[in-house]
């Protein structure tokens, strides 16, 4: 039996991991394998994806639309050889990935037969400004979508949903648009009931490598972080950042990890798990357009956040 693949795309911080997490948490016993690609050296997303019924495979330190394309195909082959075989495979791309290249790779005849690309889901922050919808990467992510999930409607202005639907229609995106409240999308929509039909052949657009536009810097430490100092540092870094996320222990609440997210100009903190032995207590990745942020500037600001720093 072929294993249908769901490809989840969408810009940095749009809400892809939230959708994948929701999907895995509502798998109802279905074996769903997740392949998660974080562009940086540390794959925070793989750690944030909990409750995966058939394991999470993490692809880090590169982008599956650029340098890791071979890794993706090898990973899929390995997943297909698992016993028992997964019933579904979800691939979460990094927010900087142009899915056109991934779709092209998934059109490989063997993969298409064994793990056909069933659905491409693009998660779109409902608060995305009109100008950002003109961005070539965002357009490419939208253009390959079968379904566009509008996230963060709870944070967006009134009427944002209607405006986004109109904007998507104006871009001639041939997708079904749904609302995803904190990642809530019915599984049946993403993996329609198995029908005996040939997989859809797709014609992706031109290549646009993500690694030429964004870079990921990371910062790790074994010392806890002072929250007020971190807030100050993030305030200074914010204008340069496209996205940041990480896990850290605070001076204020030792022994417990906090999950830090910076997306769409908004920073949030949520309680996380207890720190795993052997892992640095603080791991944060920062994604910026090339040349916007240097490692030395980042190190300087972040070193100032640790206790006694």
Ligand X SMILES: Nc1nc2c(ncn2[C@@H]2O[C@H](COP(=O)(O)OP(=O)(O)OP(=O)(O)O)[C@@H](O)[C@H]2O)c(=O)[nH]1
Task: Provide the binding-site residues for ligand X, judged by CB under 6 A.
Answer: 10, 12-18, 45, 94-95, 123, 151-152, 154-155, 181-183, 243, 245, 261, 263, 268
Given a contact cutoff of 8 angstroms between Cβ atoms, the answer to whether 17 and 49 are in contact is yes
Please count the other Cβ atoms lying within 10 Å of the Cβ belonging to residue 24. 21
Closer residue to ligand X, CB minimum distance, 170 or 270: 270
Closer residue to ligand X, CB minimum distance, 112 or 133: 133
Closest approach of Cβ 285 to ligand X, in Å?
8
| Edge-to-edge strands, sheet with 88-92 | 56-59, 32-37, 88-92, 5-9, 117-125, 147-151, 176-179
Closer residue to ligand X, CB minimum distance, 19 or 117: 19
Please count the other Cβ atoms lying within 10 Å of the Cβ belonging to residue 208. 16
- Looking at beta carbons, which residue is closest to ligand X? 95
Closest approach of Cβ 195 to ligand X, in Å?
30
Closest approach of Cβ 16 to ligand X, in Å?
4
**What element of type H or E holds 300?**
helix 295-303
Closer residue to ligand X, CB minimum distance, 180 or 225: 180
Alpha-carbon span 77 to 111, nearest angstrom = 8
The number of residues making up the chain comes to: 309
Give the angle subtended at the CA of 24 by the CAs of 18 and 95, to the nearest 5°: 35
Residue spans of alpha helices (H) in 60-219 = 69-80, 99-106, 109-114, 136-143, 160-170, 187-190
Closest approach of Cβ 58 to ligand X, in Å?
12
Closer residue to ligand X, CB minimum distance, 113 or 256: 256
Alpha-carbon span 138 to 140, nearest angstrom = 5
Closer residue to ligand X, CB minimum distance, 112 or 180: 180
Closest approach of Cβ 4 to ligand X, in Å?
21
Closer residue to ligand X, CB minimum distance, 14 or 89: 14
If 0-12 CB within 10 Å is exposed, 13-18 middle and 19+ buried, where does residue 296 land?
A: exposed
Closest approach of Cβ 155 to ligand X, in Å?
5
Given a contact cutoff of 8 angstroms between Cβ atoms, the answer to whether 263 and 123 are in contact is no
């Amino acid at each position: 039996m072929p294993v249908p693949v769901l490809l989840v795309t969408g810009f940095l911080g749009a809400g892809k991991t939230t959708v994948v997490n929701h999907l895995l948490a509502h798998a109802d016993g279905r074996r769903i394998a997740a392949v998660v690609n974080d562009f940086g050296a540390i794959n925070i997303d793989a750690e944030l994806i909990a409750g995966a019924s058939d394991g999470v495979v993490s692809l880090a330190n590169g982008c599956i639309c650029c340098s890791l394309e071979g890794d993706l195909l090898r990973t899929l082959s390995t997943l297909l050889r698992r016993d028992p075989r997964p019933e579904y495979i979800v691939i979460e791309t990094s927010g900087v990935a142009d899915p056109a290249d991934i779709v092209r790779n998934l059109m490989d005849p063997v993969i298409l037969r064994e793990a056909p690309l069933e659905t491409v889901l693009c998660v779109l922050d409902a608060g995305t400004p009109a100008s950002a919808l003109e961005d070539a990467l965002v357009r490419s992510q939208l253009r390959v979508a079968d379904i566009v999930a509008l996230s963060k409607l709870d944070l967006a202005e009134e009427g944002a949903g209607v405006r986004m639907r109109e904007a998507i229609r104006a871009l001639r995106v041939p997708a079904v648009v749904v609302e995803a409240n904190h990642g809530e999308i019915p599984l049946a929509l993403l993996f329609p009931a198995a029908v005996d039909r040939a997989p859809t052949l797709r014609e992706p657009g031109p290549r646009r490598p993500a690694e030429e536009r964004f870079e990921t810097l990371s910062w790790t430490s074994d010392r806890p972080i002072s929250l007020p100092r971190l807030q100050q540092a993030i305030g200074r870094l914010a204008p340069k950042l496209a996205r940041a996320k990480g896990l850290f222990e605070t001076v204020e609440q030792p022994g417990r990890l906090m999950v830090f997210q910076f997306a769409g100009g908004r920073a949030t903190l949520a309680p996380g798990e207890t720190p795993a032995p052997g892992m640095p207590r603080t791991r944060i990745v920062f994604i910026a357009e090339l040349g916007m942020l240097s490692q030395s500037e980042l190190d300087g600001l972040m070193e100032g956040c640790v206790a006694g720093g």
